[in-house]
Chain A
Amino acid sequence: MMAAKFLPADKLNEWIAELAESRRVLVPVTEQNAVVFRPYAKDTEPVFGRQANVPPKASIFPASERLMAFTYVKNPEDLGQVAVEVQETIEPEPTVVFGARPCDARGFTVFDRVYDGKKVQDPYYKARRESTLFVTMACDDPENACFCHWVGSSPSDPEGSDVLLTPLEGGFLVEDVSKRGKELLSSKLLSDGSKKVKEARAAHAAALAALGEAWSPAEAPAKLIEKFDDMGFWEQVSAKCISCGACTYLCPTCYCFNVTDERKGMRGERIRTWDNCMSFQFTLEASGHNPRPTKAHRLKNRVGHKFSYYPDIHGGAIACCGCGRCIKFCPASVDIREIVRLSVERPVSKPEKQ
């Protein structure tokens, strides 16, 4: 049974401070014009009214993560003989991500199918995932670039969250979503909220309605495959892209990585860093051949991965949470919604007769 609690608005920071006593709490804060997640400290002033520029992806999947440290040791008897000593470094830190949006929390469900699947489990990801809880803030006023309702989500989607907060007059409805979330609700700052549930449901419905009618990407997987060789289409929709990668770095569902050994002298570390399918190096092969030589090929991969290839192998789940960051922060305003829609609506161009 889900518990419904109420937190008065003026106790919000107190609750965060209480949570921060025993673990790292990441909250959205403003720096310049940007909102980013930072560990909560005494004087931190969190901002909850707007979507963060950078999602809390790094809380579980750091931009750069040490997988292991290594040291080369020379055999003093035979200096040509070198052994490698390896120290594995899994360092999960108990964390609460406080005040992310439903889209941000749902983003990790896309990761889960890949890094915590039936066949393969990534120990680094799993350890961080298990040590991180999400106290999510339902959206009350979606933005122009938002389209979570297209991809099976909503501004109050609890999927991926442990606790869902809903802003109400004078405070927040606090509902547990997971068992671990329930444990966070024992705070004395929370009172009974059962009388406010109706108000919260109405707020959820209003936020969803504010998004307008949803467009269904159900046909997208097949249509994108159909257009796989239609490079004319891809060149057209990628014309303004400058191949920067801001879209993938800011995406809560982009999970591709690079692994490199960064070595100085006899020591080094193997790190895993965010990679980016919009860059040339992403598929550059050791031979020098690159199967995705142009930005059109790369944009095709980004859109295809999210709306076609991933759903095909993961039971129809779309690898996009509709947060709209790739639209909002793209320096050229490339709009993934438009590309997916065009892929469905436009016929495949006929190759010109030679």
Chain B
Amino acid sequence: MPVLEELKAQIARRLPELDMVIGWGHGYDCLHRTPVFIENAADIEKLVFDPLCVHNLSTYLTRYGSGKKIGVVVKGCDSRSVVELLQEKLINRDNIVVFGLPCEGVADLGKVKRALQEQNLDMGRVKSATVEGGKLILAVSGKEVALALNDVLADKCGRCRYHNAVIHDEFAGTPVEGQAQDAYEDLAAFENQTLEERMEFWRGQMERCVRCYACRNACPMCVCRDHCIAQSRDPNWVSQGDGLEEKFFFQMIHAMHLAGRCTECGECERACPVDIPLLLLKRKLGKEIQELFDYRAGTEPEVKPPLLAFKVEEDNINERGW
């Protein structure tokens, strides 16, 4: 049975015990999928699963009051957020049913956009999109364009070590074999720059920030939400001004609050309407956490996240040697 059909059958079976199941459906055009909230059997037909299902739906899990029983459909990387949320006791395992999927990668619409722009075409004008034989075939402005899926997959998929949901109550389809290595090689070029060069880079990027906080709200691990210090006036940490200092300061706060919790799902970067490469900051911290604590967020349900725990002496921090 194809994955989607199997998933639908599983949801149909579990739905009676749930208030809703969150999955992906068709969005406003052929390239966009959108979260759908399945409450009855008829809604199940809205479900879609393909490489355009980019959203990490686990971000909705903390948006419903306790007591609701919610099903969530997750790819491998998304499932790590569920694990991390459980580890931090932000959700209750008894109230969640995880529909896990195998995943070979999702498209980065930013890359699709750039690939089309190189041919002087615009992503906003794509009239049809099909995935076939490793290609994303698009009809746009009277032309047919075939993009190799590999060229437009999200970077995270190229280094994916968790193609299959790491936690699940139901699993549809056959697990994807193999895993890539992720030694944070993409950071090398950035780390080779001087501090001034790095700051200069961020100045250039943050200038376009419209301070909308889509990066924050899309993040499944950002749970302060309405009470985020970025907007609080008491205490007044960040001014309402829109200078580079405020914008960058907020990103640093976000990154630090996510250190050791960020599962590098990339939703912050995907949500940013002006394409600021936010994942770079998060990856840098992820790498530090990996080196210091041998820990990758959201991969081991039984383990306590290192920054939520206290150890008199950390194995990799040689305090006495200083």
Which residues in A have some Cβ–Cβ distance to B below 8 Å?
Answer: 31-34, 36, 49-51, 53-54, 63-64, 141-146, 236, 239-240, 242-246, 248-250, 258, 260, 262, 271, 273-274, 276, 279-281, 325, 327-329, 331-335, 337-338
Contacts and interface: CB of A to CB of B under 8 A. Distances in A.
A64 B241 contact: yes
A200 B113 CA distance: 29
B202 interface: no
A49 B214 contact: no
B114 interface: yes
B242 A63 contact: yes
B225 A33 contact: no
Nearest to B29: A144
Nearest to A324: B124
A33 B241 contact: no
B33 A333 contact: yes
A242 B210 contact: no
Contacts of B210: 54, 63, 246, 249-250
Contacts of A53: 273-275
| Residue among B27, B270, B277 with most chain A CB within 10 A | B27
A246 B226 contact: no
Contacts of B63: 242
B231 A327 contact: no
A246 B272 CA distance: 8
Contacts of A34: 208, 273-275
Contacts of A245: 212-214, 217
Given A64-B242, A239-B37, A331-B214, A32 B271 contact: no
B125 A143 contact: yes
A242 B242 CA distance: 22
A332 B124 contact: no
A337 B233 CA distance: 35
Given A34-B275, A243-B217, 7 more contacts: A141-B141, A144-B124, A246-B273, A271-B240, A273-B240, A279-B226, A281-B226
A36 B214 contact: no
A273 B241 CA distance: 7
Given A50-B124, A51-B124, A271-B240, A63 B211 contact: yes
Contacts of B29: 144-145
Interface of B: 27-29, 32-37, 55, 59-60, 63, 110, 113-114, 117, 120, 122, 124-127, 141, 204-205, 208, 210-214, 216-218, 225-227, 231, 233, 239-243, 267, 270-271, 273-277
Given A143-B124, A242-B59, A262-B240, A32 B276 contact: yes
Given A32-B276, A141-B125, A331 B208 contact: no
B55 A332 contact: yes
Contacts of A143: 122, 124-125
21 contacts: A33-B110, A50-B124, A54-B208, A142-B125, A146-B124, A244-B216, A244-B217, A246-B210, A246-B214, A249-B210, A260-B233, A262-B241, A271-B240, A274-B211, A279-B213, A325-B273, A332-B55, A333-B28, A335-B28, A337-B28, A338-B28
A271 B241 contact: yes
Contact of A250 (B216, B217, B243, B273): B273
Contact of A279 (B113, B126, B231, B277): B231
User: Most chain-A Cβ atoms within 10 A of its Cβ — which of B60, B114, B273?
Assistant: B273
A145 B124 contact: yes
Nearest to A273: B240
Contact of A64 (B27, B37, B240): B240
Given A50-B124, A53-B273, A333 B240 contact: no
A225 to B, nearest CB: 26
A31 B28 CA distance: 25
B218 A144 contact: no
